[in-house]
Amino acid sequence: MPEGHLVHWLARRQTSLLAGRRVEVTSPQGRFREGAARLDGAVLRRVEAVGKHLLYHWEDREMLHVHLGQGGKFLEGAPVQPPVPQARLRLVGNGVALQLVAPTVCELLDPSGVASLRARLGPDPLRDDADPERVWQAVARSRRSIGALLLDQSVVAGVGNVLRAEALNLARIHPETPGHRLGRRRFARLWAEVTRIMVEASERGRIVTVPGAAGDAEGRFVYRRDRCARCGTAVQTWVLAARTMYACPRCQRRLASVSHPDS
């Protein structure tokens, strides 16, 4: 269940484990057998994260593209252990085995495929090349709600449902606020919060927005909570852009003049 922060964490982790190494590539589950055969024995240059996508750069091979989706994950273990049968992809090198389970995408991409992938993604707050001005332009021009815009990977790449809920709460913005009504100041605050949370989460490997909190549930202000961790008000939930939105009605007021779709 990875958002951008975890994907970046994985990219760094896997780069540090396997970059410059010759890698044994297989597909125990079989659905990536052909691609695995093409990569088997190649030297990995690095693993790059773009939003929620992983790109594996090899010497003299096509790019490997992985998207974890909702349930995908990597298992890290010793190569001596038997392969997990449902692993779509298994990478072995440098004394470790990385096994990919339940991804939505695991494919080889030629340069044009890579280019079109990059082209359909908006700026990624975790990357140095991210340009917030581009995001602002898209937001300011849109009548869609900021809650929907944050999940649109062509607007911002890497934000998922937890980050959306937490960032909007931290920035004190009501999720239904239309992009074109947000204003520069609120956008700037939102971008700052999104970036800060993602950087911290990508270092830690998980999202903890409430200072000092330990566990997952306690570490969030509104996501999957009954009450707002800041003020204790009952958290409201509704579906926004096909995902459950969590917001505090006290910390995140609607703009006064905005007429409201009530749900």
Q: Is 176 a residue that touches DNA (CB under 7 A)?
A: no
Q: Which of 86, 141, 227, 232 binds DNA (CB under 7 A)?
A: 86
Alpha carbons 5 and 126: distance in angstroms, whole number:
8
Cβ of residue 121: shortest distance to DNA, in angstroms? 9
Nearer to DNA among residue 67 and residue 181 (C-beta): 67
Instruction: Count the Cβ atoms, other than its own, within 10 Å of residue 35.
Output: 20
Cβ of residue 12: shortest distance to DNA, in angstroms? 17
Q: Which stretch binds DNA (CB under 7 A): 34-42, 171-179, 189-197, 238-246?
A: 238-246
Q: Supply 177's token pair.
A: 């606020």
Q: Which residue has the tokens 């202000």?
A: 221
Q: Which residues pair with 89 in a beta bridge?
A: 100
Q: What separation in angstroms does the CA of 84 have from each of 72, 78, 98, 125?
A: 14, 12, 10, 34
Q: Is 116 a residue that touches DNA (CB under 7 A)?
A: no
> Cα–chain-centroid distance for residue 130?
15
Cβ of residue 160: shortest distance to DNA, in angstroms? 2
Q: List, by residue number, the catalytic residues.
A: 2-3, 52, 243
Cβ atoms of residues 192 and 168 within 8 Å: no
Residue type, 217: A
Q: How many residues bind DNA (CB under 7 A)?
A: 29
Tell me the HSE value of 90 on the side-chain side, using a 13 A CA sphere: 23
Q: Is 65 a residue that touches DNA (CB under 7 A)?
A: no
Q: Which of 45, 189, 230, 243 binds DNA (CB under 7 A)?
A: 243
Nearer to DNA among residue 233 and residue 237 (C-beta): 237
**Residues at the site binding DNA, with contacts judged by CB under 7 A:** 1-3, 6, 29, 31, 51-52, 67, 69-71, 86, 88, 101-102, 104, 120, 151, 153, 160-162, 207, 216, 224, 242-244
